[in-house]
Amino acid sequence: NLTQRLAKVVKTMRGEARLTEANTAEMLREVRLALLEADVALPAVREFIGKVKEKALGEEVLSSLTPGQALVGVVQRELGALMGADLGPEATQLSFAQQPPAIILMAGLQGVGKTTTVGKLAKYLREEKKKKVLTVSADVYRPAAIAQLQSVTGQVGADFFPSTAQDKPVDIALAALDWAKKHYHDVLIIDTAGRLGVDEEMMKEIAAVHGAVKPVETLFVVDAMLGQDAINTAKAFNDALPLTGIVLTKLDGDSRGGAALSVRHITGKPIKFAGVSEKLDGLEAFDPTRMASRILGMGDIMALVEEARKGVDAKAAADLAAKVKSGGKFDMNDFKAQLGQMKKMGGMSSLVDKLPAQFQQAAGGANMDQADKQVRRMVGIIDSMTPAERAKPELIKATRKRRIAAGAGVQVQEVNRMLNQFEQMQTMMKKLSGGGMMKMMRSMKG
């Protein structure tokens, strides 16, 4: 499972102040695999990984993050940018010609959702933009295609310009344009034929329609379920037509939508809309950031990082850090607070494997089944101490040890072991600066 794999890498990289070739290599390998699993075409994957590397190397790691988390941040940001986040929300807007009607030409293979999208766009333009919309079908190869467009147009209450399979696509488009001008339509949407594969004749035909009516928007419709092949299809259409935008359909399916990256890689054109249902209200403005998370399958990772932040009682950590930094001594009360913190974050068994190696030893070896019980006993031992003993554990000599052991219902050796562990922890605390402390507390779960 990808999320688990990434989570593992996020955890193993920590305690380093800068992203380097070495501490990002494994993570980048996972990202590359994630993209390939999402069916992103190889050239697009290569370009993206190269870009992330360039941006990430040398980047400073905030003290509140592990390098793994920092790299996840870079990957998300760069993929978001590649998806169009930097273009701003205007990128998802349609252009309208100065002189109506604004013509929208639909392009793409058969079955990707062109005709359905015409219906969705007509509905959106009528209801949201208050436009008077006319649709026309230049799909003269399948008579059913014309009837299908008539049906969806009727469902959304737009106007339909009838055509027949005997007409030529260019003539159909010009006749519809003429009609739209005469009847003051704001928008004319031209649906076209698609083939199962890229086809020379089809490309010539749609290029001819484009040349005849000069659409203000030429939208390439692509199925999000399309895998590696998306890149070839996008290239063919991009070479044949000056595309102005992309519509990514069938995002309600379970594909990760790697086609989005492939298509952006080849065309550089903004993805304007996402189709999210067969129904005619299933059209959304494209959301680059959400798409980036989906492609990486990293929604869970970010949630995990968030969860970790919440799990650590930030104030307690900050108080302790301030105390240690200002020369204050790490005492039994602090130790108990830390043990409590660990319990809050899911118990020793889930935590010990995430701790730095030194702490793993301090936690008493590999038997994690025993670890949680041990933590509870340690807390019990601390509870049996007097406030003076907790503040100054060096007071605890033989007599006091016996009393504490009896109070906690444990053997004296266990009190000794616990005091040893405390001392190790105390030494560790002395070494850590305030920032280091915060980082350690957070990295326990990160």
The residues that touch ligand GDP, with contacts defined as CB under 6 A, are 108, 110-116, 194, 249-250, 252, 275-278, 282
The one of ligand GDP, Mg ion, none whose footprint includes residue 393, by CB under 5 to 8 A per kind, is none
Residue with CB nearest ligand GDP?
275
In the list Mg ion, ligand GDP, none, the entry touching 275 (Cβ below 5 to 8 angstroms by class) is: ligand GDP
Contact (Cβ atoms closer than 8 angstroms) between residue 266 and residue 43: no
Cα(372)–Cα(45) distance, integer angstroms: 44
Could you tell me the two tokens for 248? 């990514």
Q: Which does 249 bind (CB under 5 to 8 A by kind): ligand GDP, Mg ion, none?
A: ligand GDP
Contacts of 420 (CB under 8 A, 6+ apart): none
Q: Which residue is nearest to Mg ion (CB)?
A: 115
Partner from ligand GDP, Mg ion, none contacting 278, C-beta within 5 to 8 A by type: ligand GDP
Ranges within 145-174 binding Mg ion (CB under 5 A): 145
**Of 67 and 215, which CB lies nearer to ligand GDP in the complex structure?**
215
Distances (CA, A) of 88 to 83, 219, 289: 11, 19, 11
Q: Are 309 and 284 in contact (CB under 8 A)?
A: no
Q: How far apart are CB 142 and ligand GDP at their closest, in Å?
A: 9
Q: Which is nearer to ligand GDP, 111 or 409 (CB)?
A: 111
With CB under 5 to 8 Å by kind, the binding choice for 15 among ligand GDP, Mg ion, none is: none
Are the C-beta atoms of residues 102 and 96 closer than 8 Å to each other? yes
Sole window of 140-148, 326-334, 355-363, 407-415 interacting with Mg ion (rule: CB under 5 A) = 140-148
Which residue of 24, 76, 115, 135 would you call a contact of Mg ion, by CB under 5 A? Answer: 115
Per DSSP, the three-state class of 363 is coil
φ/ψ of residue 414, rounded to 5: -70, -35
Alpha-carbon distances of 107 from 136, 183, 266, 392, rounded to whole Å: 14, 25, 16, 77
Cα 343 from Cα 337, distance rounded (Å)? 10
User: In angstroms, rounded to a whole number, what is the distance separating the alpha carbons of residues 215 and 160?
Assistant: 18
CB 228, min distance to ligand GDP, A: 20
Give the one entry of ligand GDP, Mg ion, none that residue 353 binds, where binding means its C-beta sits below a cut-off of 5 to 8 angstroms depending on kind: none
Nearer to ligand GDP, 222 or 305 (CB): 222
DSSP run (H or E) holding 60 = none
Which CB sits closer to ligand GDP, 9 or 230? 230
97-106 exposure pattern, b = at least 16 Cβ within 10 A, e = fewer: eeebbbbbbb
Least Å distance, CB 133 to Mg ion, is 17
Selection from ligand GDP, Mg ion, none that 236 binds (CB < 5 to 8 A by kind) is: none
At 312, the amino acid letter reads: V
Compute the least distance from the CB of residue 137 to ligand GDP, in Å: 9
- Residue 386 CA, chain-centre distance (Å), reads 51
Residues in region 307-346 near Mg ion by CB under 5 A: none
Which partner, Mg ion, ligand GDP, none, binds residue 311 by CB below 5 to 8 Å per kind?
A: none
Q: How far is the CB of 274 from ligand GDP (least distance, A)?
A: 8
DSSP bridge partners of 34? none
ω before 101 within 30° of 0 (cis)? yes
374 binds, among ligand GDP, Mg ion, none (CB under 5 to 8 A by kind): none
Shortest gap between Cβ of 49 and ligand GDP (angstroms)? 30
Binding segment (CB under 5 A) for Mg ion, from list 10-18, 88-96, 108-116, 220-228:
108-116
Q: Which is nearer to Mg ion, 206 or 351 (CB)?
A: 206
CA dihedral 366→372→373→378, nearest 10 degrees, is 100
Distance CA 250, CA 197 (A): 19
Q: Please, what is the minimum distance in Å from the beta carbon of residue 42 to Mg ion?
A: 30
By CB under 5 A, the count of residues binding Mg ion is 3
By DSSP bridging, strand 283-285 and strand 271-275 are antiparallel
Residues that bind Mg ion (CB under 5 A): 114-115, 145
